[in-house]
Amino acid sequence: MGSMERDMEQCRTRKHTVVLVPPPLQGHMTPMLQLGSILYSKGFSIVVAHSEFRPPDPLNHPGFIFHALSDNLSGYQASINNLLDLISAINSNCRAPLQDYMVQLMEDQKLQGYQVSCMIYDALLFFVDSVSTHLKIPSIILRPNMAAYMLSCHCICKLQAENRIPFPESRLQEPVPELHPLRFKDLPYPITNAIPEWLMDFNASSINIRSSVATIWNTTDCLEHSTLSRLQQCYKVPCFPIGPLHKLEAAATATSFLEEDQSCISWLERQPPNSVIYISLGSIACINEQELTETAWGLANSGIPFIWVLRSDSIDGSQLDDHFPEGSFKSLLGERGLIFKWAPQKKVLAHRAVGGFWSHCGWNSTIESICEGVPMICRPHFADQIVNARYLTYEWKVGLEIENVVDRGSIEKSIRRLMVEVEGKEMRQRMLIMKDKLEAGLQKGGSSYESLNDLTEFITSVSSAAGQ
């Protein structure tokens, strides 16, 4: 029996199948695949129904079954400016292909005496609900963000309903009632101008859980107890905070769309403890040419060794190599700084040489940094990043906000505050305390550990109740 046949055989011996539906965005695909690996380790069979556009690599998950949904997106050039168009196209184009596939899958499974327990879909893929409702399969939403982000989206809807948008600029510093520590300026969309109708619709859809029977969160009760309780009360379905997903042993599989350049690890081996700052803006955020230049000079002048991830599409409207031709900035730095297109981020953050993380504060990056006790410089760009940055800088006091991203002096000062001054050392201490709490939550008896056990029991029970 070949390895593929063996895997299929293994899937067949697993009684309950969970169908995962992720979008082709790195920060959403990663937690979905991690969840799949965890459920696989708990004995579920895993099917991943994904768009043809930017598919996951099946070789990283030999036990899963992958199915590409026709999406009419061939040749699509995704960028920061058309992300919501991409999501909207997938929501429209993948509905019928998903339904056809599910009908086929359910028939096949019935013949073999096993069943589809539930569909777990990313919060952006609203269309899955209509398929699961039509086929009477229970569905569960995976939210890859911090839970507080969801409450901030509720707040935007409320402000709009009360006709308070545009909101006065002079009141942006005021606290949002019942959303401590957020101020109006920390809400995920700018509210001083009217918010376009399509964006309001998107926001409203993203907080609607439709007929989902539960929600899963890549967060933890120890970070967000009161927010999670409020959401549970609001939605009246079970809520499973099981994060940080990437720290569960079963989830340690590769999930990157881009190839990770491993060569930075040998370079890190030669650096002293806590000496290196790691800079990355995740998979989507971009900077303009001025910010690029000022950051480069701020880094150079700080004297701090660094690893800087600049994707080929990180600079608004131009190619990276136009800015750093061989022989210029790079050679000026010599061995002190490395620039990569994509790094093995979790390994980098876990390395003893890394003492700080300059981040756009995407939730995956945030929770990965907390898990390694690495304090942060927060440079949020949009949406949940703004909420996450407020928690990091103000509530947990483990990150500092950069004052002016187009001033090399200010950048240099922020880097030194984090990396060499007492303030940064104190933030590192607080991060280490958070790291210990998160680790404890994953141990037997910890909140995430128990929540994951509850989730697996729940999935088994909903599928039996659905009586397929």
Element (H, E) at 30: helix 26-41
Cβ proximity to ligand UDP, 367 vs 462, nearer residue: 367
Name the H helices within 83-220.
83-93, 95-112, 127-135, 147-161, 197-207
Q: How far is the CB of 257 from ligand UDP (least distance, A)?
A: 9
Q: In Å, how far from its chain's centre is CA 434?
A: 19
Indicate the residue among 21 and 105 with the shorter CB distance to ligand UDP.
21
Shortest distance (Å) from residue 264 CB to ligand UDP: 9
What does the binding site for ligand UDP look like in residue numbers (CB under 6 A)?
A: 26-27, 30, 256, 280, 282-285, 309, 342-343, 345-346, 362-365, 368
- Rounded-to-integer distance, Cα 62 and Cα 51, Å: 19
Question: Taking the complex as a whole, how short is the minimal distance between the CB of residue 260 and ligand UDP, in angstroms?
Answer: 6
C-beta of 135 vs 387, nearer to ligand UDP: 387
Distance CA 65, CA 329 (A): 46
CB of 117 within 8 A of CB of 43? no
Q: Shortest approach of ligand UDP to residue 55 CB, angstroms?
A: 17
Closer to ligand UDP at the Cβ: 127 or 278? 278
Choice between 26 and 447, CB closer to ligand UDP: 26
Number of Cβ atoms within 10 Å of the Cβ of 231? 23
Closest approach of ligand UDP to the CB of residue 380, in Å? 10
Cβ closest to ligand UDP, residue 206 vs residue 345: 345
Give Cα separations from 13 to 52, 58, 109, 112 (angstroms). Answer: 28, 20, 11, 10
Q: Which is nearer to ligand UDP, 184 or 308 (CB)?
A: 308
Look up residue 116 and give its DSSP letter: E
Neighbours of 111 (CB within 10 A): 8
Q: To the nearest whole angstrom, how small is the minimum distance from the Cβ of residue 117 to ligand UDP?
A: 27
Q: How far is the CB of 242 from ligand UDP (least distance, A)?
A: 16
Q: Is the dihedral of CA 294, 295, 299, 300 positive or negative?
A: negative
Task: Report in angstroms how near the CB of residue 248 gets to ligand UDP at its nearest.
Answer: 14
Size (the chain), residues = 468
User: What interhelical angle do 422-442 and 447-466 show, nearest 10?
Assistant: 40
> Number of C-alpha atoms within 13 angstroms, CB side, residue 390?
22
52 vs 372 by CB, closer to ligand UDP: 372
